[in-house]
Amino acid sequence: MKTEQQIIRNAGFKITVPRLLVLEALRVCEKQGEHLSAEALFRRILADGGHLSLAAVYRILAQFEAAGLVTRHQFFTDSNRAVYQLANSSKHHHHMVCADTGDILEFNHNALEKMENEIAAAHGFEIINSQVVFHVRKIGTR
pLDDT tens-digit readout, 27-65: 998 888 888 889 999 999 999 999 999 999 999 999 999
Taking the whole predicted model, whether its pTM rises above 0.85 is answered as: no
The enclosing domain of 69 has a CATH number of: 1.10.10.10
Domain of residue 47 covers: 1-88
Percent of the chain's residues with pLDDT above 70: 92
Question: Which residues are CB-neighbours of 46 under 8 A, at least 6 positions away?
Answer: none
Q: Are residues 52 and 117 in the same domain?
A: no
The residue count for the chain? 142
Q: Are residues 1 and 38 in the same domain?
A: yes
Q: Are residues 79 and 28 in the same domain?
A: yes
Q: Are residues 15 and 46 in the same domain?
A: yes
Q: Are residues 56 and 95 in the same domain?
A: no
The total domain count for the chain is: 2
Q: Are residues 84 and 106 in the same domain?
A: no
Q: Are residues 117 and 59 in the same domain?
A: no
Question: Which residues are CB-neighbours of 28 under 8 A, at least 6 positions away?
Answer: 44
Q: Are residues 97 and 74 in the same domain?
A: no
Q: Are residues 112 and 69 in the same domain?
A: no
- Alpha carbon distance 22, 5 (integer Å): 12
Q: Is the pLDDT of residue 77 over 70?
A: no
Instruction: Using DSSP bridges, classify how beta strands 94-98 and 133-136 pair: parallel, antiparallel or unpaired.
Output: parallel
Q: Are residues 102 and 128 in the same domain?
A: yes
Smallest Cα–Cα separation from 107: which of 142, 132, 73? 132
Q: Are residues 99 and 120 in the same domain?
A: yes
Q: Is the pLDDT of residue 76 over 80?
A: no
